Structure 1
Amino acid sequence: MNITLKQLKILEAVVEHNSYTDAAKALFMTQPAVSMQIKQMELQIDLPLFEREGKQVSLTEAGSELLHYARMIRQQLDEAELMLEELKGLKRGKLHLTMASTANYFAPQLIAAFHHDYPGAQVTLAVTNRTGLLDALNNNTTDMVIMGKPPKDPRLAGIRFMDNPLVVIAAPSHPLAKQKKVIPLRDLADEPFIVRERASGTRIAAERFFAMHDLQLTTGMEMNRSEAIKQAVMAELGLGIVSLHTIEMELALKRVVVLKIEDFPIMRQWHIVYRKGKRFAAIPEAFKNYVLEHAEALINIVPLENNHSDNP
């Protein structure tokens, strides 16, 4: 049997209007065209679909059975159309997001807020270092990444969405933590710093900052996670330079202090980075727009002036 969807629609219209002529008008067809399509279906099944009584038509038993299946098929098609419209309407969809490890301190808040508005979104999240971020972009294995400074690559697009202040932290027992005045940057020249790995954006920004002031960042220890740097600072192994977004809990518990350093913080930005020309599905596009619109309002950090070491 090779009955088309168009023919089943014609069958339903004839039954609804109880007339070939009225069905043709509703379908914007001619009456002979409707009659021909009904005749072709009857030839397909080798059974009559309608019985004529003057201008009126009524279904045969075969017609009733075929109408039943026509309606079932239409219902399934309507459900399929609804599902597709829901995808367009952002009720469902997938997002593959890759982010710098430092961004993991605030990004879950963004994802949770986004998921509240788009509960059908399925988010796959990968957290990695800068090298991993660049690999994901180069290999096109992610929709987008959240990172600091985007690489200079003509194939990539980066959009700033939020400030990322880098601050100097110390253990509360450190001698510099007791100073009330702004500490000259040169006073840090001989202080050992616990730093990120060389490929880290934070490390690159810190070394560039010191070099701009004709100073060299003294490396005491090297860690590949901000969490490890904080632990080392709390253990009094040296100073650290970290994103202010990463120390909310430690500041609240007074386990670290932010030092008042000349020309600090180093003001960087968070970016959404993706491959140019990438065609986003509905959910990734919605997430990108959501972050650009809401990130700064959603991510609340204690103002920098309230985080310094001279607070009681």
Structure 2
Amino acid sequence: MIRLDTITLKQLRTLQAVAAHGSLTAAASEVGLTIPAIHSQIKNLESAVGTLVLIRSADAGRMQLTSEGTELLRAANRIEGILSQAGAQIQARFQGRVGHVSLSVVSTAKYFAPRLVRNLNDRCPEIEISLRVGNREAVISDLDQGRCELAIMGRPPREPQVEATPLGPHPHGVVLPPDHPLAQGDGYDPSLLVRETFLSREPGSGTRTLMQRFLERFEEGHSTRVIEMDSNETIKQAVLAGLGLAFLSLHTVHDELAQKRLAVLRGPYLPVMRHWYLVAPVQLAQGPAAQRIAREIVDLNGIYLPKLAIA
């Protein structure tokens, strides 16, 4: 019989440490317990749920989660996220504020998120706002594990379930040096475009997915060469250096386009228009501070978004 009432935070944190390091020895070092104590915590956890939560892999000898252990780890991560938010709320009240809100944004949004937070600080000085920036996967993890009450991203995730409110347009396009042959005129030859080298973020990023869908219109058996880079800033510098073209959110290159250091490709199917969304996890009830900040973000009506002169 499952005895959830006997599960302790120490047991769950021990499970987190073993899952992160793959060994009892490394976990013991992290949490400051002896190896026998780590083993005891895991055994007590397994007794509480009535099944194994860890097994030793046959090849490398590392400790691996069972499917039940994976469920417990997910619960443990959510508990840690919720406790972290509770601590932030308490600290905010110690500082004389009425609450704290953690706002997670995808890395593409970092080009306007500080301006948004400044607007929110002006409108709600009594609420402390912390800004977390990460890739799409990290933001979805924040939503799932309770590390944020609100997030701004492009395409809302299927899991965890969220409430999504559109905030404004999010144009994407191909950027290239102003003197590139494809930058001349208001059209492009698709057969030439797909023979260019494209600089891109990692697979799974929202921008990479949009780029692939755009290029698939023209490839017809030809595989476009893609070089992965770890940040939009690196990609921009590589395009400026002439290493290739890039399919990017045009909000990330607002300054470079305005200064004519970069150009945007013009022609059919461009720009690719998407939207920014404010999302909140359904599984977590929003407190008054998060509800207030959500209303303010919507009421700002996208004034913090970069304005682009594109046709």
TM range (shorter): 0.5 to 0.7
Partner residue, 2:24: none
- 1:39-78 per-residue CA deviation (whole Å, 9 max, x = no partner) reads xxxxxxxxxxxxxxxxxxxxxxxxxxxxxxxxxxxxxxxx
Cα gap change, 1:273 to 1:185, in 2 (>3 Å): farther
Cα gap change, 1:197 to 1:165, in 2 (>3 Å): same
Partner residue, 2:278: 272
Counterparts of residues 205-284 of structure 1 (less than 5 Å):
205-212=210-217, 215=220, 218-284=224-290
Moved more, 218-227 or 102-111: 218-227
Partner residue, 2:74: none
**Contact conserved, 1:195 with 1:229, CA < 8 A, in 2?**
yes
Cα gap change, 1:217 to 1:280, in 2 (>3 Å): farther
Identify unmatched segments of 5+ residues in structure 1.
1-86, 306-312
Q: How far apart, in 1, do the equivalents of 2:246 and 2:140 lie? A: 25
**Alignment partner of 2:302: what SS?**
helix
**What amino acid does structure 2 have at the position aligned with 1:236?**
G
**Alignment partner of 1:298: what SS?**
coil
**Contact conserved, 2:109 with 2:153, CA < 8 A, in 1?**
yes
**Contact conserved, 2:106 with 2:135, CA < 8 A, in 1?**
yes
Cα gap change, 1:133 to 1:119, in 2 (>3 Å): same
**Alignment partner of 1:247: what SS?**
helix
Partner residue, 1:303: 309
Of 184, 189, 192, the residue aligned with 2:194 is 189
Q: How far apart, in 2, do the equivalents of 1:132 and 1:296 lie? A: 24
Aligned sequence identity (%): 33
Partner residue, 2:168: 162
- The alpha-carbon deviation at position 290 of structure 1 amounts to 1.7
Q: How far apart, in 1, do the equivalents of 2:167 and 2:223 lie? A: 29
- The alpha-carbon deviation at position 217 of structure 1 amounts to 6.4
Q: Does 1:93 align with 2:99?
A: yes
Moved more, 278-287 or 236-245: 278-287
**What amino acid does structure 1 have at the position aligned with 2:159?**
D
Q: Does 1:292 align with 2:291?
A: no
Q: How far apart, in 1, do the equivalents of 2:252 and 2:160 lie? A: 31
Q: How far apart, in 1, do the equivalents of 2:224 and 2:300 lie? A: 38
**Contact conserved, 2:153 with 2:276, CA < 8 A, in 1?**
yes
- The alpha-carbon deviation at position 219 of structure 1 amounts to 3.2
Moved more, 211-220 or 121-130: 211-220
**Contact conserved, 2:143 with 2:160, CA < 8 A, in 1?**
no
- Report the RMSD for the aligned CA atoms in angstroms: 2.4
Larger Rg: 1
**Alignment partner of 1:98: what SS?**
strand
Counterparts of residues 69-84 of structure 1 (less than 5 Å):
none
- The alpha-carbon deviation at position 214 of structure 1 amounts to 5.5
- 1:230-267 per-residue CA deviation (whole Å, 9 max, x = no partner) reads 11100100001111111121122221111113211111
- 1:82-135 per-residue CA deviation (whole Å, 9 max, x = no partner) reads xxxxx9xxx732110111011000111111111101112211111111111111
Runs of 4+ that moved beyond 4 A: 212-217
Normalising by structure 2, we get a TM-score of: 0.65
